A and B are shown apart, each in its own frame.
Chain A
């Protein structure tokens, strides 16, 4: 009787053990299933996700222009020069632009230039003024800034790719009625003064560049050049205030109306511009990823 009970006990114990193990397994399985079910639902993420990056708005750097603008010095003049020479120069220009940010600007914009100067205190000097002329092609491209300081007109011609230039800021981006503002030398001084404490005027990165349609009043003649003559094609001077209609008519004697039909002077740069713009943009975008 005792042996049979002992056997029964053993059997019961083993059954209970098995049941426990089964239950444990079931519990284990059920929890894992539940975890898996939760993971597939995606309600509560179990993996660690890092917090989102903070967006840094750098107000010191002006935003890059989104306009399709190719600086005029990239367009080669119409000469019998091997295009390879321009290609090599363009590489150097793009390399320099990756180091120094040369912003988009036009004749008539107000710029501030910081240049390295061994004789100045702090080894740099800063000059700001209106850009009156952009000249040169390739690495020798220049721009002239004009300002009136203490009653004295000052013009400085800077080379855009000179290593002495440390910073170029556009304080006011705008265009004027002409491509060349050399007549400001003979205009009243108020049109050439730029306030030295001027703050940068915010400009939009997209859309058209604003055109400043001011027409300038001139000092009495004689001028440095006869601006009323049609070869200068000046739109931005109030001739009606300084010259009589007879004089204006007399100036039209130097008009050369056949020049607009001169086929040898035709130079269509649209295809070249597109090609160079694409090249410059691809090369500049390569630089940001070192």
Chain B
């Protein structure tokens, strides 16, 4: 890890400049100079030989595979809260596909794959913010070589490979889950509603028409060099200022955005894929935070789900695909409306 520091030559610079009597004014203005000094610049493989590098990669990979395998069958004597745990997962956006209902209507769904999602930490009410308890969840394994020691400590305590995305979910007080538990797509069932949060695609510095949908000005009829400009910026002489938060050109995208109230149409338990209605922020293969809805119309439905939430130690084997009751499955014969 590189740590760049600057030694501010405050005292030394002042002394040097004070010696030159002709530049007194200059000494007053520049009191210090900055010289950049490098403390540590090294990457993990800098001082390793080829053999060491390959050994590190291989051994860490094997260790993490063993850790994941060990977590697959957690002990049964831990307290398992069943009904009141607000579910949350980290998923990867695969792409979109069409689905059809039994009445012939066509909808579009986004496929989200849950890759290596583990619970990392449980923070009780007092530890987190005094109001609600929190659960830290991580998804999609990443390389440990580019993580700081502070980040790695949490993964080490949970006994889990380092994760690319770590999120916190606010949960109810009794939802104590042992860190290291794997989470699967089957925690969500068809018919439930979710909120999906992700970083939107970055569009860079954009003008006001693309960013906020302003109408701009006409293309012709005498407009002089004004076709996509914001136009007026406020009332006028009375406030005699531009209010804070005025919509102006700037960086667009690359911020977290949430899509609310998305219905889960189908869950594939074999590949851990959730089919979620409509579109979702983020580019393909981006990491998302999938959570039970906050919307009041669907919150009651989610409390009493049609099926109990899924924990992998249960003996019953789930079928490979779970479908919503309105969904047309392709093994059925063609529709006759």
Residue A199 interfacial (CB < 8 Å): no
* B297 at the A interface (CB under 8 A): no
Cβ of B284 < 8 Å from any Cβ of A?
Answer: yes
Instruction: Kindly list chain B residues whose C-beta atoms are within 8 Å of the C-beta of A93.
Output: 330
Residues on A with C-beta less than 8 A from B113 are 82, 84
Within 8 Å CB of A166, what residues of B?
334, 336
Determine whether B41 belongs to the interface, using a CB cutoff of 8 Å to chain A: no
Q: Is the CB of B335 within 8 A of A116?
A: yes
Q: Which of B92, B333, B336 contacts A123 (CB 8 A)?
A: B336
Asked if B225 lies at the interface with its beta carbon under 8 angstroms from chain A, I say no
B137 at the interface (CB under 8 A from A): no
Q: Which residue of B lies closest to A141 (CB)?
A: B98
Q: Is the CB of B94 within 8 A of A139?
A: no
Contact of B94 with A96 in the complex, beta carbons under 8 Å: no
- A residues less than 8 Å from B106 (CB atoms): 159, 162
A85 within 8 A of B: yes
Interface residue from B95, B330, B333, B336 paired with A92 (Cβ < 8 Å): B330
* A:54-105 near B, CB below 8 Å: 79-82, 84-85, 88-89, 92-93, 95-96, 98-100
Proximity string of chain B (301-337) to chain A, C-beta cutoff 8 Å, 1 when within and 0 when not: 0000000000000000000000000001011111111
Give, as a whole number of angstroms, the nearest-CB distance from A139 to chain B: 5
- Smallest Cβ distance from B271 to chain A, in angstroms? 6
* A88–B100 touching, CB < 8 Å: no
What string of 1s and 0s marks CB contacts (under 8 Å) between B90-132 and chain A? 0010110110100010100001010000000000000000000
Tally of contact residues, A, Cβ under 8 A: 30
- Nearest CB in chain B: distance from A79 CB, A: 8
Contact indicator A81/B284 (Cβ below 8 Å): yes
Indicate if the CB atoms of A85 and B104 lie closer than 8 Å. Answer: no
Q: Is B186 an interface residue (CB 8 A)?
A: no
Does A163 belong to the interface (CB within 8 Å)? yes
Which residue of B94, B271, B330, B337 is within 8 Å of A161 (Cβ)? B330
Q: Which chain B residue has the least Cβ–Cβ distance from A117? A: B337
A139-173 vs B, CB cutoff 8 Å, 1 = contact: the mask equals 11000000000000000000101111110000000
Would B98 and A116 count as touching, CB distance under 8 A? Answer: no
Q: Mark B232-273, 1 if CB is under 8 A from A, else 0.
A: 000000000000000000000000000000000000100101
Does B86 sit at the interface, judged by CB under 8 A? Answer: no
Does the CB pair B104–A163 fall under 8 Å? yes
A61 to chain B, nearest CB (A): 16
Q: Is the CB of A88 within 8 A of B334?
A: no
The reply to whether the CB of B285 lies closer than 8 angstroms to some CB of chain A is: yes
Chain B interface size range? 20 to 34
By a CB distance below 8 angstroms, the chain B residues around A84 are: 94, 113, 271
Query: Which of B92, B284, B334 lies in contact with A99, CB distance below 8 A?
Result: B334
- List residues of chain A with CB within 8 A of the CB of B334: 99-100, 116, 163-166
- Complex Cα distance, B337 from A286, in Å, reads 30
Find the B residue at minimum CB distance from A119: B337
Q: A129 within 8 Å of B by Cβ?
A: no
> Once the chains bind, are A163 and B328 in contact (CB under 8 Å)?
yes
| Contact, CB under 8 Å: A116 / B94 | no
User: A88-B271, A162-B106, A164-B104 are contacts. A82–B95 as well, Cβ < 8 Å?
Assistant: yes
CA distance A89 to B268 in the complex (A): 12
Q: CB-CB < 8 A to B333: which residues of A? A: 99
A183 CB, nearest partner CB in chain B, Å:
29
Q: Which residues of B contact A80 (CB under 8 A)?
A: 284-285
In whole angstroms, how far apart are the Cα atoms of A60 and B302 in the complex? 50
CB distance from A202 to the nearest CB of B (A): 26
Whether A140 and B98, one on each chain, are in contact in the complex, defined by CB atoms closer than 8 angstroms, is yes
**Could you tell me if B100 and A162 are in contact, using CB atoms closer than 8 angstroms?**
yes
Q: Bound state CA distance, A98 and B111, in angstroms? A: 24
Complex CA gap A116/B336 in Å reads: 6
A163 to B336 Cα, complex, angstroms: 9
Selected contact of B94 from candidates A81, A99, A100, A124, CB within 8 Å: A81
Interface residue from B100, B331, B337 paired with A95 (Cβ < 8 Å): B331
| Residues of B with C-beta under 8 A to A116 | 104, 334-337
Does the CB pair A88–B335 fall under 8 Å? no
Contacts of B328 in A (CB 8 A): 163
* Chain A nearest CB, measured from B70 CB (Å): 25
Could you say which residues of chain A place their CB within 8 Å of the CB of B332?
99, 163
Considering only CB atoms, which chain B residue lies closest to A82 in the complex?
A: B94
Taking CB atoms, residues of chain B closer than 8 Å to A98 are 331
| Nearest neighbor of A118 in chain B, beta-carbon distance | B337
Q: Does A108 contact B (CB under 8 A)?
A: no
Measured between beta carbons, the chain B residues less than 8 angstroms from A99 are 330-334
Measured in the bound complex, the distance between the Cα atoms of B104 and A116 in whole Å is 9
B33-77 contacts to A, CB under 8 A, are none
**A123-B97 Cα distance, complex, nearest whole Å:** 28
Chain B: minimal CB distance from A167 (Å): 8
Bound: A80/B94 CA distance, A? 10
Q: How far is the CA of A99 from the CA of B98 in the complex (A)?
A: 18
Query: 24 A-B Cβ contacts within 8 A?
Result: A80-B285, A81-B95, A81-B284, A81-B285, A82-B113, A85-B94, A88-B111, A89-B97, A98-B331, A99-B330, A99-B332, A99-B334, A116-B334, A116-B336, A118-B337, A140-B97, A159-B106, A161-B98, A161-B330, A163-B104, A163-B328, A163-B330, A164-B104, A166-B336
- 4 additional A-B pairs beyond A81-B94, A85-B95, A85-B97, beta carbons within 8 Å, are A84-B113, A99-B331, A99-B333, A163-B328
Give me the 6 closest cross-chain CB pairs, A-B, nearest first.
A95-B330, A96-B330, A118-B337, A85-B94, A163-B335, A116-B337
